[in-house]
Structure 1
Amino acid sequence: MKKALFILFLFIAIAAQAQDKKATEKPQIVETACGECQFGMKGNGCDLAVRIDGKAYFVDGTTIDEHGDAHAKDGFCNAIRKASVTGKVENNRFKATSFTLVKEK
């Protein structure tokens, strides 16, 4: 009986952890912008964020300043852009392994 309970708790723990890690090995197109200015996230300044499946996450692995002037007319603080990304959601943050802005048509 103890063994069955242990296995059940182990399974639940693994399943709960897997839900937080939405890994994307293939590039996916996401919305990206300043989390505070465009997505209404709480933070200490202008920080890069992505929106995946309707939920916004701050980004680790690249910064808002690596992609141009955030305060320009088309910058992340003034516009929501599209990006092709790979990475995973971990601890409620998006850990980017690649991040490429998609050119506007």
Structure 2
Amino acid sequence: MKKLILVSILVLTFSCAKEKANKQIVELSCGQCQFNLTSQKGCDLAVRIEGESYFVDGAHIDDFGDAHDEGTGFCEVIRKAEVEGEVVDNRFKISSVKLLDKK
């Protein structure tokens, strides 16, 4: 009986444990305009991590201002950001974003 309780606790612990995504520094910009991604039409937020680009789920390209602004818009420039998230099904599921440049 003790073994059954111990196994049950272990199973519950592992099934309820939520792995926290690591913070990392990435390039953040428009997937179509700056990273040459072609799987979607229009302008969409994307990250580039170690040379690989992924569209973002969890944040919109206009959440950070006008995407077409000449000096700061993601369709015009590539910006550095500290993000938390993970790649799932070839998309980056983002949970937090902190822009690092002062544009």
Distance in 2 separating the partners of 1:25 and 1:46:
26
Contact 1:59 1:93 survives alignment (8 Å): yes
Contact 1:35 1:46 survives alignment (8 Å): yes
2:52 matches 1:76: no
* Aligned residue in 1 for 2:96: 98
- If you compute each CA radius of gyration, which structure gives the higher value, 1 or 2? 2
* Aligned residue in 2 for 1:88: 86
From 22, 26, 30, the equivalent of 1:26 is: 22
Matched residue pairs, number? 83
Q: Structure 2 stretches of 5 or more lacking a match?
A: 1-18
Q: Structure 1 stretches of 5 or more lacking a match?
A: 1-22
Cα RMSD of the aligned pairs, angstroms, is 1.7
Instruction: Give the TM-score, by structure 2 length.
Output: 0.75
CA deviation profile, 1:15-35 (whole Å, cap 9, x unmatched): xxxxxxxx8723111001000
| 1:57 shift after superposition | 0.2
| 1:83 shift after superposition | 0.8
Instruction: Give the TM-score, by structure 1 length.
Output: 0.74
Identity score, percent: 55
- Report runs of 4+ in structure 1 exceeding 6 Å deviation: none
